[in-house]
Each structure stands twice: as structure tokens, then as C-alpha cells.
């Protein structure tokens, strides 16, 4: 188990003394989901079956098909943090790229390899009251760390708690910077997903 520099597992700190189920209760749409995309997904990425790779998610038994490069670096980091801090991800509990078949709204982003559903059977579209308070806090922290590069389906008018997507267009420097930071954390002991530092 990943631990902090003071020896406390992140999961233990987050779970201590917290209980109760609450509704997501947020009605803010994801950026880019209102308009349809012609030849592309609603977040501005082209729909494609090339440049997609199925990759393992370190620290979990799961793998997922995503767009290669910075997109997969960021989304795999999100999955790892979700696994450590929100809900454990088992084998076959990730849904990534899938061929376009008339998708609409945020679902179109799966066809570009820029979205992932984490434990979609546990968090189906429209379900509310599925996260404990500490889990919602962890999701907000993940989004804050991603600095607007990643959006969460829990903020849709019809919540989809399992859904996370890249929310900037191709070539956006914020995506490149975030991916570079994540790669740097992977090379530095004591940083990255699964590590909790008191006072951070």
C-alpha cells in the first residue's frame, strides 16, 4: 500500500470517521457537451479507431483502451487516484474507447478515446446518492489537481458519476503540462497517485 512520508496510508486517512450516502446534487453541464460534433467528439477531439491502445493501469488489475500519448497519461492517473481514494477498481471495471455508433453528448467522447467510465455498473447514468462524502471530496481533489483538463460526469444535469473525460481540445498546452507533471511524479518517490502527504 502506498503511504505518506509520515507512514499514514491515504485510504486510512480519507475513510476515518466518515459515513453516509449523499446525492451528487450538482447541475452544471460539462464543457463541450451541448453541441454535436461532426467527425469529432463533443470535446473537440476527432473520432478515431487508430492511435488507440489498451494499457494496464498500474496498481490495479484493470486495463483500458484510450488515445495514446498525453490523453492516456492523464486519464490513467485519474483512474489510479480513483482506485486508491474513491473506490477500488477490479478487472473489467473500466470502459474506454469504443467505436462511434451515433453517440451524443458526453458519450461521444468515448469514440475519440478521450473518456473513461470507472466502474460503470456501480455508477450507472442518472444514479444519484452513490458516493459517500469522503469520496466526493476525493473526486473534487482529483479534478482540482487536473486544473480544468479533466471534467467529471457527476456534474452533468443527468449525473454520470463513472464518467471522466479530457475537457480541453487537441493541442491545448494545459494537457501537455499536466501530462508532463504526472510523468515527473512517476519518476519521483513519494509523489503521484496513492501517496498522501499530511498538510497538502
CATH number at residue 42: 3.30.1380
Residue 191: inside a domain, yes or no?
no
Say how many domains are in the chain. Answer: 1
Contact indicator for 106, 33 with CB cutoff of 8 Å: yes
Q: What is the pLDDT of residues 36-61, one digit of tens each?
A: 344 678 999 999 999 999 999 999 99
Residue 81: left (phi > 0), alpha (psi -120 to 50), or beta? alpha
Banded pLDDT at 188 (limits 50, 70, 90): low
Give the three-class secondary structure for 184.
Answer: helix
Banded pLDDT at 30 (limits 50, 70, 90): low
Query: Taking the C-alpha atoms of 36, 109, 93 and 133 in order, what is their torsion angle to the nearest 10 degrees?
Result: -70
Residue 29: inside a domain, yes or no?
yes
Residue 14: inside a domain, yes or no?
no
Residue 8: inside a domain, yes or no?
no
Strands of 94-95's sheet, edge to edge? 94-95, 115-118, 163-166, 150-152
Mean pLDDT of the chain, nearest integer? 81
Residue 122: inside a domain, yes or no?
yes
Please give the residue range of the domain that contains residue 38. 22-186
Alpha carbon distance 138, 6 (integer Å): 20
Contact indicator for 194, 10 with CB cutoff of 8 Å: yes
For helices 133-146 and 70-85, the axis angle rounded to 10 degrees is 160
Give the three-class secondary structure for 73.
Answer: helix
Q: Largest Cα–Cα distance in the chain?
A: 51
- Considering the entire predicted model, what is its pTM? 0.77
Alpha carbon distance 75, 72 (integer Å): 5
The pLDDT score that the predictor gives to residue 100 is: 75
Residue 3: inside a domain, yes or no?
no
Alpha carbon distance 177, 179 (integer Å): 6
Predicted confidence (pLDDT) at residue 5 exceeds the cutoff of 60: no
Residue 84: inside a domain, yes or no?
yes
Residue 28 gets which letter from DSSP? P
Least Cα distance to 72 among 113, 119, 117 occurs for: 113
Q: What is the pLDDT of residues 70-79, one digit of tens each?
A: 999 999 999 9
Amino acid at each position: 500500500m502506498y503511504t505518506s512520508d509520515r507512514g499514514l496510508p491515504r485510504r486510512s486517512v480519507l475513510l476515518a470517521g466518515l459515513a453516509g450516502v449523499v446525492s451528487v446534487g450538482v447541475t452544471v453541464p460539462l464543457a463541450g457537451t451541448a453541441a454535436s460534433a461532426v467527425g469529432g467528439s463533443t470535446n473537440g477531439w476527432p473520432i478515431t479507431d487508430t492511435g488507440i491502445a489498451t494499457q494496464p493501469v498500474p496498481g490495479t488489475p484493470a486495463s483500458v483502451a484510450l488515445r495514446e500519448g498525453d490523453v492516456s497519461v492523464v486519464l490513467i492517473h485519474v483512474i489510479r487516484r480513483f482506485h486508491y481514494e474513491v473506490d477500488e477498481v477490479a478487472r473489467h471495471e473500466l470502459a474506454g474507447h469504443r467505436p462511434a455508433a451515433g453517440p451524443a453528448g458526453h458519450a461521444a467522447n468515448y469514440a475519440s478515446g478521450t473518456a473513461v467510465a470507472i466502474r460503470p455498473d456501480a455508477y450507472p447514468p442518472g444514479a444519484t446518492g452513490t458516493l459517500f462524502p469522503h469520496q466526493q471530496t476525493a473526486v473534487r481533489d482529483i479534478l482540482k489537481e487536473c486544473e480544468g483538463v479533466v471534467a467529471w460526469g457527476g456534474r452533468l444535469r443527468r449525473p454520470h458519476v463513472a464518467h471522466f473525460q479530457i475537457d480541453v481540445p487537441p493541442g491545448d498546452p494545459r494537457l501537455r503540462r499536466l501530462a508532463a507533471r504526472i510523468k515527473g511524479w512517476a519518476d519521483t518517490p513519494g509523489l503521484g497517485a496513492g501517496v498522501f502527504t499530511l498538510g497538502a
